[in-house]
Amino acid sequence: MIVVPTFREMLAAAKAAVREIEPVEAEREIEAGGAVVLDVREPDEYEQGALPGAVHIPRGTLETSVEGRIPDKSSHVVIYCAGGTRSAFAAKTMQELGYADVASVIGGFNRWKDEGRAWAAPQALDPEQRNRYQRHLLLPEVGEVGQLKLLDAKVLLLGAGGLGSPAALYLAAAGVGTLGIIDMDVVDASNLQRQILHNTDRIGERKVDSAKKTLTLINPDVNVVTYDVRLGADNILDIIDGYDVIVDGTDNFPTRYLVNDASLLKRIPVVHGSIFRFEGQATVFNPFEGPCYRCMIPEPPPAELAPSCAEAGVLGVLPGIVGSIQAVETIKILLGIGDTLQGRLLAYDALEQSFRNFKVHRDPQCPACGPDAGEIVIAEYDDLCMPHAVAPPTAG
Provide the binding-site residues for Zn ion, judged by CB under 5 A.
292, 294-295, 366, 368-369
Q: How far apart are CA 234 and CA 221, in angstroms?
A: 31
Contact 52, 109 (CB under 8 A): no
Question: Which residues have C-beta within 8 Å of that of residue 342, sequence separation ≥ 6?
Answer: 283, 284, 285, 286, 289, 290, 291
Shortest distance (Å) from residue 370 CB to Zn ion:
6
* 303-336 exposure pattern, b = at least 16 Cβ within 10 A, e = fewer: eeebbbbeeeebbeebbbbbbbbbbbbbbbbbbe
Shortest distance (Å) from residue 179 CB to Zn ion:
27
Closer of 245 and 264 to Zn ion (Cβ):
264
Shortest distance (Å) from residue 217 CB to Zn ion:
39
Cα 365 to its chain centre, rounded Å, is: 30
Closer of 179 and 360 to Zn ion (Cβ):
360
Shortest distance (Å) from residue 273 CB to Zn ion:
18
CA 83 vs CA 62, 142, 196, 202, 301: distances in Å:
17, 31, 55, 60, 68
Three-state DSSP class for residue 346: strand
Q: What are the backbone dihedrals phi and psi of residue 330, each rounded to the nearest 5 degrees, phi first?
A: -60, -45
Closer of 112 and 293 to Zn ion (Cβ):
293
Q: How far apart are CA 130 and CA 34, in angstroms?
A: 31
Shortest distance (Å) from residue 154 CB to Zn ion:
24
Closer of 160 and 360 to Zn ion (Cβ):
360
Distance linking the first and last C-alpha atoms of the chain: 82
Closer of 82 and 292 to Zn ion (Cβ):
292
Q: How far apart are CA 7 and CA 73, in angstroms?
A: 28
Closer of 108 and 291 to Zn ion (Cβ):
291
Closer of 28 and 361 to Zn ion (Cβ):
361
Three-state DSSP class for residue 101: strand
Shortest distance (Å) from residue 246 CB to Zn ion:
16
Shortest distance (Å) from residue 322 CB to Zn ion:
22
